[in-house]
Every structure is written in structure tokens, then in C-alpha cells.
């Protein structure tokens, strides 16, 4: 009786696994940071010209100067932040949801880090304010946006709040604690990366601070806090919370001054 033979195994085609998304390099990341501020200048000039045109042709239908400027600031920030954030998320691709060293960190955090971020966000402006006061002496420190808001109608100040408290922190965290932190972290390690990214974060705000160097340590402090939160939590959201809380406290002067 002939022996039965097992049927030969049929080799199934193996689909090639997708290549891992390559994280952008340092030069590209720096270019994205520069592009964000260039976009602010570009959109600011565009909306400023539109505002002037409308004012010249319809002077009775437009609000007073400080309120018009608030509208320009809101539109400028929304457009610059929207373009920059969309570009970063698209460029990082699947790494946007990666909480590791080479990802942007848009991953859900543990609840304890949100609580820690809230506490640090409340403490940062107090400590940073004392530091700035010590370094500045009798000199007053104010950002351009705060000066504009202080002269605007109360309703326009409330309209500006979401842009300053939510939109600004989101795009800045994506740039500095997302992209920049990612490209530095695997090259330099966590410690150096936290310090360098915080220093850069403080320095890029110098133009908005009228180049007052003694205001930089305050911003570097919130940069240190946000970078540490990003590294420890594996998520960008605690850094965003701390940044948003810090900005919220900074806007209190708009309504109490």
C-alpha cells in the first residue's frame, strides 16, 4: 500500500513591512521654528494692511485702534500656528503619536503628570517673576501682546485669551518640546537637551520682550519645566498644561491693572 505523502506547504507571499518614518533632522527642525516666526511677520503684515484698507474706506464701521490690533494679533497667531502645527504633524507622520525620544509626544499622559503640570504652571510665574524682578531692578518688563491688551476694550481682551492661553502654548510646545526636543534628545541625552531647549525657548522671545535680556531667565524656567514634563511623562500634554496655566496667570494683569 503506497504511503500517503503530506501536501507540500504553500508559501504565502510576505508583504514587506512598512519602513519606519524617518524623523526630521536638526536643520529642518530649526527651519520650522524660524518659519513659525516668519509666518507671524508675514500674516501680521497682511492682516495689518487689510485693517488699514478697511479703516481708510469704512472708518465708521471699524473699532478703535487697539481693538483693531487685537483682531490682527488673533488672526496672525491662528494662521501662523495652524500652518506650523499642520506642517509638523504631517512631516512627523506616525511619530506624532510616539511618546519616545524621536516622537512629538501626542500621546495620552498619566493623570498624575497633569496634576504636577498644573502645580508647576502655577508656581512658575511666581518664581520667574521674582527672578526677573531681581535681575531687572527697577526696570519694567512687559511683552508686546500685554501692552496691546492693556489698552483694548474688555471684550477684546476676552477674545484674545484663547489665542494666548491655548493656541500659542500648543504650537510652541509642538515646536520646542515636540520637534526640537526630539532631534536633540537622542544626540545629547535628556539633561543637556532639557537645558539647551529651554535656553533656546527663552532667547527666541527676546524680540517680543524688546530685547530685555533679564526677562529671558523667566521664560527659560517655564521651558525647563515643560521639557522636564515632556521627558518624564512621555507626552507633550503635561507640558502644554503647564504652559497654558503659566500664560493664564500672566493674563490676569489685563483685567486687574
- Strand (E) positions, the chain? none
Contacts of 201 (CB under 8 A, 6+ apart): 172, 176, 219, 220, 222, 223
Q: Which residues of the chain have pLDDT under 70?
A: 1-23, 138-143, 257
Per-residue pLDDT tens digits for 78-98: 999 999 999 999 999 999 999
Task: Give the per-residue pLDDT at 141.
Answer: 65
Q: What is the structure's pLDDT at 220?
A: 93
CA 55 to chain centre: 32
pLDDT value for 257: 60
Distance (Å, whole) CA 37 – CA 86? 15
Residues in the chain: 257
**Assigned C-alpha cell, 112:** 498624575
- Give dist(CA 65, CA 58) in Å, integer: 14
Distance (Å) of CA 210 to CA 29, 33, 141, 144, 207: 25, 20, 9, 8, 5
pLDDT at residue 73 in the model: 92
Question: Global pTM?
Answer: 0.86
Amino acid at each position: 500500500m503506497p504511503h500517503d505523502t503530506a501536501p507540500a506547504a504553500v508559501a504565502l507571499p510576505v508583504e514587506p513591512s512598512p519602513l519606519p518614518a524617518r524623523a526630521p533632522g536638526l536643520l529642518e527642525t530649526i527651519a520650522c521654528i524660524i518659519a513659525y516666526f516668519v509666518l507671524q511677520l508675514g500674516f501680521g503684515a497682511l492682516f495689518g494692511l487689510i485693517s488699514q484698507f478697511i479703516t481708510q474706506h469704512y472708518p465708521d464701521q471699524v473699532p478703535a485702534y487697539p481693538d483693531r490690533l487685537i483682531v490682527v494679533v488673533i488672526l496672525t497667531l491662528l494662521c501662523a500656528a495652524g500652518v506650523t502645527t499642520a506642517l509638523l504633524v504631517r512631516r512627523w507622520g506616525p511619530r506624532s503619536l510616539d511618546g519616545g525620544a524621536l516622537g512629538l509626544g501626542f500621546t495620552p499622559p498619566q493623570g498624575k503628570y497633569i496634576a504636577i503640570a498644573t502645580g508647576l504652571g502655577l508656581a512658575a510665574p511666581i518664581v520667574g517673576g521674582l527672578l526677573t524682578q531681581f535681575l531687572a531692578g527697577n526696570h519694567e518688563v512687559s511683552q508686546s501682546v500685554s501692552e496691546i491688551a492693556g489698552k483694548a476694550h474688555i471684550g477684546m481682551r476676552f477674545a484674545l485669551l484663547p489665542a494666548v492661553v491655548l493656541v500659542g502654548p500648543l504650537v510652541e510646545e509642538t515646536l520646542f518640546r515636540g520637534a526640537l526636543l526630539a532631534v536633540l534628545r537622542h544626540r545629547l541625552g535628556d539633561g543637556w537637551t532639557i537645558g539647551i531647549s529651554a535656553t533656546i525657548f527663552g532667547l527666541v522671545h527676546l524680540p517680543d520682550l524688546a530685547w530685555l535680556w533679564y526677562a529671558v531667565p523667566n521664560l527659560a524656567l517655564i521651558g525647563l519645566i515643560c521639557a522636564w514634563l515632556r521627558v518624564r511623562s512621555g507626552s507633550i500634554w503635561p507640558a502644554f498644561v503647564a504652559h497654558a496655566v503659566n500664560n493664564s496667570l500672566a493674563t490676569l494683569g489685563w483685567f486687574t491693572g
